[in-house]
Amino acid sequence: MTVYLLRKLLGTIPTIFGVALIVFLLFHVVGGDPTYQMLGKYATAEQVAELRHQLGFDQPLHRQFVGFLREIVTFDFGESYATKQKVSRMILDGIVPSLSLTLPAFFLTTLIAVVIGLLVAYFRGRWIDRVTVLLCVLGMSVPVLAYILFGQYFLAYRLQLFPIAGYDPEWPERLVYLALPILISVMVSVGFSVRFYRTALIEETSQDYVRTARAKGLSEPRIYLKHVLKNSLVPIVTNVVMDLPLLVLGAFLLEKFFGIPGLGGITINAVHDSDFQVIKAMTIFQSFLFILGNVLTDVAYTLVDPRVSFDGR
């Protein structure tokens, strides 16, 4: 396992370099000079030249790229243009609030989706299956913003079941403010997950081993729980592991509307303020998380499916 993991991690180095090159070109070549946006349209040529020198934009592109690689390796992206804080510290401070929201929502969504997926696969073709699929499609069709506005207006403002917005750094008071965004996150995500797991489970029910188990007289609940669910773990693990980067990045709209100081809100504020240092750092950070998610997916395959070997065969 150690050799396999090291080989996978080493294989990500060219990908990381390619991502860094693309991000650098987007921000330093295609995106134009950010100093004009930072200083405004009434800035003088002297002010622009001074700021470009401070930020290193007057250096040749190859030197700027080497400096960008140094920032990535050292995880030091300088200071935010808008807040004057260290970008790396902003990212580290935003991880915990984001995980406080996304982790409970992730576990609840996965648990509910797997249970409902097993249920509708068991009752495939019956009314409970059709109604569940219809509700999932309807739930997926509603925009996230509609869920947020409905929750804040009716559940928080009218019924006063939850705070409208806010965040408390202390536990367990934090849960009071996170309950409604967690509920909305589950409602937004569970529809897609149920349909995905239902499809994976139904596909397994057509396999020969299921017919053999039925011929042996095994009960349907035992077949689904012991055999079908176990052999459906590869697509389930794929869906679960690939969602892990999104847990760290947070839920952008939920964090913004509910005042949660996570990475999602930090990114939206950076886009609004044209804070290129933060946007650039978050782009790289997000890319790294997805690359790591792909590596973890490959490792998870070897753990849940004995047919997948550590040498990649």
Q: Would you place residue 47 in the very low, low, confident or very high pLDDT band (cuts 50, 70, 90)?
A: confident
Tell me the Ramachandran region of residue 118: left when phi exceeds 0, alpha when psi lies from -120 to 50, beta otherwise.
alpha
Map residue 86 onto helix, strand or coil: strand
Please give the Cα distance from 173 to 184 (Å, whole number): 19
Q: Which runs of consecutive H residues, i.e. helices, occur in the chain?
A: 2-11, 13-25, 35-39, 45-55, 61-74, 87-122, 127-141, 144-150, 173-205, 208-215, 220-222, 229-231, 233-242, 244-249, 252-257, 263-272, 276-304
Q: What is the pLDDT of residue 305?
A: 62
Q: Residue 33: is its pLDDT beyond 70? A: no
Burial of 150 (0-12, 13-18, 19+ CB in 10 A): middle
So what CATH class is 96-264? Answer: mainly alpha
Q: What is the pLDDT of residue 29?
A: 67
Distances from the Cα of 175 to the Cαs of 98, 145, 166, 196, in angstroms?
13, 22, 11, 29
pTM of the model: 0.79
Q: Where are the domains of the chain?
A: 96-264
Lowest mean pLDDT among 31-35, 177-181, 270-274: 31-35
Which residue is listed with tokens 């403010």?
177
253-265 per-position pLDDT tens digit: 888 888 888 888 8
Q: What is the pLDDT of residue 273?
A: 76
Distances from the Cα of 20 to the Cαs of 86, 183, 266, 276, in angstroms?
20, 36, 21, 15
Burial of 145 (0-12, 13-18, 19+ CB in 10 A): exposed
Please give the Cα distance from 188 to 190 (Å, whole number): 6
Tell me the Ramachandran region of residue 292: left when phi exceeds 0, alpha when psi lies from -120 to 50, beta otherwise.
alpha
Q: What is the pLDDT of residue 304?
A: 65
Find all residues with CB under 8 Å of 289, minimum gap 6, and list them.
244, 245, 248, 249
Map residue 79 onto helix, strand or coil: strand
Please give the Cα distance from 307 to 303 (Å, whole number): 10
CA 164 to chain centre: 24
Handedness of CA 148, 150, 152, 153 (dihedral sign): positive
Amino acid present at 55: L
Q: What is the pLDDT of residue 182?
A: 92
Distances from the Cα of 284 to the Cαs of 38, 46, 76, 91, in angstroms?
22, 32, 12, 12
Please give the Cα distance from 169 to 173 (Å, whole number): 8
Rounded mean pLDDT, 76-85: 81
Q: What is the pLDDT of residue 36?
A: 65
